[in-house]
Chain A
Amino acid sequence: MADAPALSIRDLEVRYGAVPAVRNLSLDVGKGEIVGLIGPNGAGKSTTLHAIMGLVSARSGIVKLDGHPVLGRKPESIAHRGMALVPEGRRIYGDFTVEENLRLGLAARRGRYGKDVLAGAYELFPVLRDFRKRQAGVLSGGQQQQLAIARALVAQPDVLLLDEPSLGLAPSLVDDVFAALAEIREGGFAVLLVEQRAQRTVALADRTHVLSNGELRLTLGPDDAGDTEKMVAAYFA
């Protein structure tokens, strides 16, 4: 199974009541890859991530994590199997310290760990070390995003899901986030990135799928980043 993708989705279908939110969705994410998922608002991007993570129930489909089927399991079980989600809006515990937030991320970590288990997180985002005893609520938006990503990484997942990490951030901070994602790819993680910033995502990711009205319309490569016509066509297909 050495070549099986870290995350494999086949024919995912999610409904809200009678309304289908996601249909026939199939994609793969391999280790050391970033796969982007872009599309207009309401296209079903967040729903896809929530379904994979077990937060909403899917009608049908197969989701495999390292070859093991996980669709329909409880979120904490999926987390323990090696999938981590950085949710939309970050969902930081503002009243807890930065360090406590990171320690929460350890809940899903498999295997033993030593006292300096958080060192890697502090190395990736040094500002977190400076603020580690402070309440997470005093961090700025960009810093909170870093905390949210670090918190997910601390669990050493095989697959990292991100839901609009650049939402509400100033352009320079967006740069930081995307740079961090590139580093994370170097680290061998499999990353599924849901984003609004289409162009930057297409440029960064190994491939980017365009989701519209719940269905995959198009797949773009990094070379398509400059091709505005193609992007517009994809969005409004």
Chain B
Amino acid sequence: MTATVYAAVDAQTLADAVGLGAIYALMAVGIGLVFGVLRLVNFAYGQLIMAGAYTLAFTAHWRVVWSIVACFVVVVALSLLMDRAVFRPLRGASPAVMLVTTFAIAFMLQAIALLVDIRDDTIGEIATSIAPLNQPTTIQGVDVRKITIVAVVVAAVSLALVALLLLRTTIGLHMRAASADFGTARLLGVRANRVIAFAVLLSGLLAAIVSVMLTVQFPFVGPDFALRDTIVVLVGVVVGGIDRLWTATLGGFAIGFTTGVINGALPTEQTVFLPSAVFALVILVLLLRPAGLFAWGRGAVERV
């Protein structure tokens, strides 16, 4: 069995897995940033990515550059709107209420997308302009799709920039303080609304980046675009450890990479029970380390 798996995990699969892990890592940061300052798990994060994908599809007849700009504008605007209309009134609510409300928003946005989409009597739009990036190129005899390289590079650069922002700038310091202890931060003069808006903005930018990269690989856009991915990333984030940004990111990457490897290694007939195996593993990890796989120290300290 192991021999079969080994043989199947070729460089192509590894490359794809790293690419997927990179994208999931960005999503994890987007989710983690908002959780840090608001203690809110945004189930509707995937809908931001979906909105970006639809924008790319609807502007497919524009020049690529402008299409991507439009995508960014729409996603960031939607993200800020979500904060204003949903997150702000929910501040101070119980975690259960917050969870269920974003769940509701997620369903609502999906349904709105369906309404908009179905006006041409088909579900799904195709983002044709940026699909060419999905072409393979050969590096040292291995077929790698251009988008995989782009994804990894973009993700690495984005993560580095975010890290730089958080560690070296004043607003980054304020955000970290707000995530660790918001009450004391406000005492010291850190402006709550500003920090939250910044986190939401950053989160939106990352969603837009992910939107572009996913749409290149999966140009067929439907209302459930990125839904599966968001659920998987959420699971990865909690398994990795949602309390700290780096453990959340690592969790996102890990689950993306693992999914990519397993999907590529096993033949299709054997993958029907894959979700069960993965989720059973998730349960196991959460039982052993409820605070997260990568969280150190006191072990089962529940934050939420």
Residues of A within 8 A of B (CB): 53, 55, 74-76, 79-80, 84-85, 87, 91, 93, 95-96, 100, 103-109, 151-152, 155
The answer to whether B187 and A75 have CB atoms under 8 Å apart is yes
Q: Which one, B181, B183, B189, contacts A107 given CB within 8 A?
A: B189
List 6 contacting pairs A-B, 8 Å CB cutoff, sorted by A.
Answer: A55-B183, A84-B188, A91-B183, A93-B180, A152-B188, A155-B188
The answer to whether B176 and A96 have CB atoms under 8 Å apart is yes
Per the bound structure, the CA–CA distance linking A80 and B188 in Å amounts to 9
The answer to whether B188 and A74 have CB atoms under 8 Å apart is no
Find chain B residues with CB under 8 A from A106 CB: 170
Nearest-CB distance from A152 to chain B (Å)? Answer: 8
The answer to whether A103 and B170 have CB atoms under 8 Å apart is yes
CB closest chain-B residue, reference A91: B184
Known contacts A103-B173, A107-B174, A79 near B189 by CB under 8 Å: yes
B262 on the A face (CB < 8 A): no
Q: Which one, B170, B177, B190, B192, contacts A96 given CB within 8 A?
A: B177
Q: Which one, A93, A95, A100, A155, contacts B189 given CB within 8 A?
A: A155
Find chain A residues with CB under 8 A from B180 CB: 93, 95-96
Tally of contacts, chain A with chain B, CB under 8 A: 62
Q: Which one, B173, B174, B177, B188, contacts A79 given CB within 8 A?
A: B188
Nearest-CB distance from B292 to chain A (Å)? Answer: 16
The answer to whether B188 and A105 have CB atoms under 8 Å apart is yes
Residues of B within 8 A of A (CB): 170, 173-174, 176-177, 180-181, 183-192
Find chain A residues with CB under 8 A from B185 CB: 104, 107
CB closest chain-B residue, reference A81: B189
Task: Determine which residue in A76, A84, A96 has the highest number of CB atoms from chain B within 10 A of its CB, and name it.
Answer: A76
Nearest-CB distance from A216 to chain B (Å)? Answer: 25
Nearest-CB distance from A118 to chain B (Å)? Answer: 14
Q: Which one, B174, B176, B187, contacts A55 given CB within 8 A?
A: B187
Task: Determine which residue in B180, B181, B183, B186 has the highest number of CB atoms from chain A within 10 A of its CB, and name it.
Answer: B186
Known contacts A53-B187, A55-B187, A91 near B181 by CB under 8 Å: yes
Q: Which one, A79, A95, A100, contacts B187 given CB within 8 A?
A: A79
Known contacts A95-B180, A104-B174, A74 near B190 by CB under 8 Å: no
Nearest-CB distance from B165 to chain A (Å)? Answer: 15
Find chain B residues with CB under 8 A from A85 CB: 187
The answer to whether B192 and A108 have CB atoms under 8 Å apart is no
Find chain B residues with CB under 8 A from A76 CB: 186-187, 189-192
Find chain A residues with CB under 8 A from B192 CB: 74, 76
Per the bound structure, the CA–CA distance linking A74 and B193 in Å amounts to 11
Per the bound structure, the CA–CA distance linking A84 and B186 in Å amounts to 11
CB closest chain-A residue, reference B184: A91
Nearest-CB distance from B254 to chain A (Å)? Answer: 23
The answer to whether B181 and A74 have CB atoms under 8 Å apart is no
- Identify 17 new A-B residue pairs, CB closer than 8 A, beyond the known A76-B191, A155-B188: A74-B192, A76-B189, A76-B190, A79-B186, A84-B187, A87-B184, A87-B187, A91-B181, A91-B187, A93-B180, A95-B180, A96-B173, A104-B185, A104-B188, A105-B188, A105-B189, A108-B188
